[in-house]
Amino acid sequence: MPDSRDIGLELNPNYDANGLITAVATDRATGELLMLAHMNADALAATIATREAHFWSRSRSKLWKKGETSGHVLHVTDIRIDCDQDAIWLIVDPAGPACHTGERSCFYRRIDGDALSPVE
Amino acid sequence: MPDSRDIGLELNPNYDANGLITAVATDRATGELLMLAHMNADALAATIATREAHFWSRSRSKLWKKGETSGHVLHVTDIRIDCDQDAIWLIVDPAGPACHTGERSCFYRRIDGDALSPVE
């Protein structure tokens, strides 16, 4: 049965054992999925306050603003949360490629059976 | 630096310590983010083979086909993987509401400061 977290209107993120919640960003203009990363409470608060996407870097164990070095920030136009409040959806206007490889989206390869092929 | 997992054309999913990879589904027609869940290798293989979304239920510790009881299956039109191969993007035609609450998308609430509001 749905509980209050599922259907209520109180923000109550369900962080995992490491204090993290999964966040994905899609392009407002194209609907394309750009990237998936993780947030801690500080990253979510910074994203809400600044309307620029912030995440928690698990590899570097630090808060990071997406684009802080590259300039490819994600301007956040809408923030949504899922039913059980363990995932965040950012609808964004990207200032540049979202992927560290230089691709517009991190999801630039299609799975074809056992192999991958570039989408474009 | 990008490594072969990032830029190569070999499918080599980077499962976590529990053998899982995060998967999100978006609606092919609207671009809307419908749901986020997890897959193990069997769920990914079943999804590739059947073109219907399968996931691993962490709460029930079993493979499940989305919609196996509700009929609200997700017909998969495209499967993509991200740069470091630890996330899957399914582009789908949903047969019904994706959310167990009956909403079309699990992400049916917007974060407004400290509160939530329904999107529609």
Annotated binding site of A: 82-84, 86, 99, 106
Q: Where is A45: in which H helix or E strand?
A: helix A41-50
The ipTM estimated for the assembled molecules is 0.95
CATH class of B4-118: alpha beta
pLDDT tens per residue across span A6-42: 889 999 999 999 999 999 999 999 999 999 999 999 9
For chain B, the structural domain boundaries read: 4-118
Q: Are A104 and A36 within 8 A, CB to CB?
A: no
Annotated binding site of A for Zn(2+): 83, 99, 106
pLDDT tens per residue across span B44-54: 999 999 999 99
Is B33 in contact with A114 (Cβ distance < 8 A)?
A: no
Strands (E) in B40-114, as ranges, are: 54-57, 62-65, 74-81, 87-94, 109-112
pLDDT at A3 over 90: no
Q: Are A94 and A77 within 8 A, CB to CB?
A: no
Burial of B118 (0-12, 13-18, 19+ CB in 10 A): exposed
Percent with pLDDT over 90 in chain A: 92
Closest C-alpha to B44, from B76, B6, B3: B76
